[in-house]
């Protein structure tokens, strides 16, 4: 099963990113496990330097910006 991690401390931008990820999964019908990672040490260990960030199957797809819905749909459809 696909694993998606949304990295961020819980700010509004991070919450919006998580909502976009969940909406993309819903609209594409893709099954995935979504995990919210807010631990600073876990973010650093993953190489996240700016939030919000999204990783699909441990591959960082974006960092430091809110992804567009179409971007996320492409990521989840290709994985």
The catalytic site residues sit at 11, 14
CB 13 within 8 A of CB 62: no
Copy the structure tokens of residue 45.
Answer: 């260990």
Contacts of 46 (CB under 8 A, 6+ apart): 5, 7, 37, 55, 58, 60
């Amino acid at each position: 099963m696909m694993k998606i991690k949304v990295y961020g401390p819980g700010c509004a931008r991070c919450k919006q990113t998580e909502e976009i990820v969940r909406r993309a999964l819903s609209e594409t019908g893709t099954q995935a496990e979504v995990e919210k990672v807010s631990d600073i040490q876990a973010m650093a260990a993953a190489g996240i330097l700016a939030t919000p960030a999204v990783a699909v199957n441990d591959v960082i797809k974006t960092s430091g910006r809110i992804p567009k819905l179409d971007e996320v749909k492409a990521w989840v459809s290709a994985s």
